[in-house]
Structure 1
């Protein structure tokens, strides 16, 4: 844990998945193995800690959803007839792949969103920085509409600005991503780096943030957001 600072905190930069949104990476790996025969999905293609180049490109907005699906089709481990079916442009094949890809996205507890509103009422500025792609953004919006009172608009209104990796062309844990976001926050709202604190559930992202001097805290897998954030705000002389 970072040592307390004498600079009062004025803003929080949150991660999305694993902090506000419930996710389970293993469900996507299991779905691709079951439905497409992709064994070792987590170690070969995508996990919380690492990912292959085409997933990285998708999260940076450098390839389209169609190109991403094509890359995943090429990884399917079935016989030639089945591979040909999956390589077709059929909507059913695309939908099946996207369903597997979205399997990790679970739910958004309404109480977490309510807590974000209380932070806003306390005068804090809130920002969101997420490694996310176009397919997942659409699914997250569907989940928010289902789970959160007021839907997507109410959720987005909790934040002063939302930084999605596939929109900004940058992703965590690259240090230049944090530098760019902090510069944008400074330009938008006049906040210095020392006035911002970052919460994320991936250790590599915490390491990247700390490398540029951003106060950062790792969120445990099973957590109550209030119990994670409030002690930090209190200890940081908010």
Structure 2
């Protein structure tokens, strides 16, 4: 019975991987190239996960890849304090502010809206992984048009091969869960990887390079 279950799981995994590899995404960059934003304000991410640390855990990780891609990013502390002084303290309320108002306040060319759907560690019988999944869209603050959308995910178990058999997998899952439970935010470094995958320029379906990058205009 156990062998049949393992074979079934393996078959489903192979099918899932094959389906993921077969998917291709065609991105229309025409609006992005016409807009060519220089300055981006990153809004506090919406959190759809059960972990309350997701919003600021992810927010602290997304500005670096944007800067590396060649954009000037409005400092997160300035953005956060500006909204707070204006009575806006939740991501849901902040995401409702009009693009024109955001441009008026921050003088930015575009805003990045991020939604975190998974953030944290989940324990299952044979595995325990810390997973972060997020989606984002870049919006032109002059026209309100969406310039780009993307999504990415990262897991603490990527590339992990357990050679201890079924017992080893059970022990590994239990240990991982214990370690995660005593850390302040086990998902934080995983969020960094997800952020890089989501917002690094030059990758397939990714952001275009910004004006501060030596590769600006080559994509």
Please classify the TM superposition score into its range, dividing by the shorter chain length. Answer: 0.3 to 0.5
Question: Larger % of strand: which?
Answer: 2
Higher relative contact order (CA 8 A, sep 6+): 1
TM-score (norm 2): 0.36
Question: Larger % of helix: which?
Answer: 1
Larger Rg: 2
